[in-house]
Amino acid sequence: MKILVTGGAGFIGSHIVDGLLAAGHTVAVIDDLSSGSRDNLPSGVPLHVVDIVDDKAVARVFAAERPDAVCHQAAQMSVSRSVREPLFDAQVNCIGLINVLDAAAKTGCRRFVFASSGGVLYGDVTKPAPENTPANPVSPYGITKWVGERYLKFFAEEHGLATVALRYSNVYGPRQNPHGEAGVVAIFCKKLLAGEAATINGDGKYVRDYVFGPDVARANVIALTGDLPKVQPKTLTSLNIGTGIGTDVNELEASIRVHVGKTLERHGRSATLPPPVHGPARPGDLRSNLVDATLAGNVLGWKPTVSLDEGIARTAEWFAAHAAR
């Protein structure tokens, strides 16, 4: 199959590209490189440096590539930025999505996989939420993900696409951008490796379901290329992708500090790390969010394979090895 990955030079997208190539598929990438990097892509993968808000540029890429399937990862990802700049958030996450869907429908694409978010869609939940939990987004970012799924359903029914919305919980891992506002594991790893204190927003008792990036990439590869009886033309299939295990930010920081310390010791560096400091709470942040990924197991045969402890260790090691980035 030929697959076009938007946001393919980014954190999750580049792991998806790796998985697709390993499975023998042909891949092309759209990315504006605002948070992604060419360094995340293997040599030889076509990269179109395009802003998905530019409908004409998107259409030109699709006319040239004519993919069999599309994996749409490009997005504005920060909840707090969406609160400050809801118009920008909607331009990227709604208008950008519509541009990609429209171009896909016009060039014969058969399957479309969308990065949705169980991490914001269900609102505050203290138990793992299944897909039939009523949507209750409390931020513009969450609203755009819910609206995005409605557009997937429309394009599926109108144009015959088989569409899949993967509702990620909190994704972390190697290649995550530590310089933005999203991606607490990457941000904490970068800070602690530099010998600086991690800043915890509010009281740190914000519970999240952390899932490892390569595990999420594997779910995307299956959704894009698998022989899936429940994924059919003219339908939308929404699936949670997470672990169902909650960890608060205080616990997360403590675990990252331990693994960064071990990583520094292996690299012959001092492992004396400062304790965290607490800053103000961020607007739009949920107190608790967990997802139930049972349905993804039934439809995709997917389940997470990397524990949070192992994932943090691998992530800390990657950031140590790429300290200059």
Residue positions annotated with a catalytic role: 141
| 323 SS3 class | coil
Determine the Cα–Cα distance for residues 1 and 111; give it in Å rounded to an integer.
11
Which of 195, 212, 211, 209 minimizes the C-alpha distance to 263? 195
**Burial class of residue 305 in the structure, from the number of CB atoms within 10 Å of its CB (0-12 exposed, 13-18 middle, 19+ buried):** exposed
Torsion-angle region of 195 (φ positive above 0: left; ψ -120 to 50: alpha; else: beta)? left
Helix ranges, the chain (H): 11-22, 55-65, 79-84, 86-90, 96-106, 118-121, 140-159, 184-193, 213-225, 249-266, 294-300, 308-321
Q: Tokens 């429209």 correspond to what residue?
A: 102
Determine the Cα–Cα distance for residues 43 and 46; give it in Å rounded to an integer.
9
Which pair of structure tokens corresponds to residue 263? 């990583």
What is the DSSP annotation of 220-246? HHHHHHS--TT--TTEEEEEEES---E
